[in-house]
Amino acid sequence: MKALALAAGIALAAGSALAEDLIRYTTDESFDDVVFGLESAILDQGLVVDGTSHVGEMLERTRADVGSEITVFLKADVYSFCSAKLSRKVMEADPMNIRFCPYDIFVAQMPDRPDETIIGYRAFPEGPMQEVQALLDTIVRSAIGLD
């Protein structure tokens, strides 16, 4: 019974943490302009995009297959990249920081707000990973002209 109560407590705490672990900005720039800005901002940091996940396209393509009638995104992509120097630094501090690599930034446009584009990333824990969070924030802000 104690184990069940502990598991429920952990799940509740995790659910609360998940609601708070998102940093996002909204802009009236087009999705394509934000994507261009993001790619440029990543390159400006001397980094390379390792991969792009076309989440919006995948969800729309599989919508009928899973029995849904809901369009979640008009457009949504996740850009993954890494910094060898920064990754080494945070993993030397704690090898389990591997769980955060690669770093991801998403860009999305919602059906109920077609004139807005959201760009963001997950928040990182206190400690060495705050340097990664600062890098992501610099990239995101640069992408939408807030730098």
Tens digits of residue pLDDT in 127-147: 999 999 999 999 999 999 998
In a domain, 87, yes or no: yes
- Domain containing 35 equals 21-143
What's the number of domains the chain is made of? 1
- At 20 the pLDDT is 67
For 55-78, letters b (16+ CB in 10 Å) and e give: bbeebbeeeeeeeeeeeebbbbbb
Q: How many residues does the chain have?
A: 147
pLDDT tens digits for range 64-77: 999 999 999 999 99
The pLDDT of residue 12 is above 50 = no
- Name the residue with tokens 């990333």: 121
Query: Peptide bond before 128: cis, by omega within 30 degrees of 0?
Result: no
* CATH code of 118's domain: 3.30.310.70
Output phi, psi for 51, to 5 deg.
-165, 155
As a whole number, mean pLDDT of residues 76-100 equals 97
Q: Is residue 2 part of a domain?
A: no
Structure pTM? 0.85
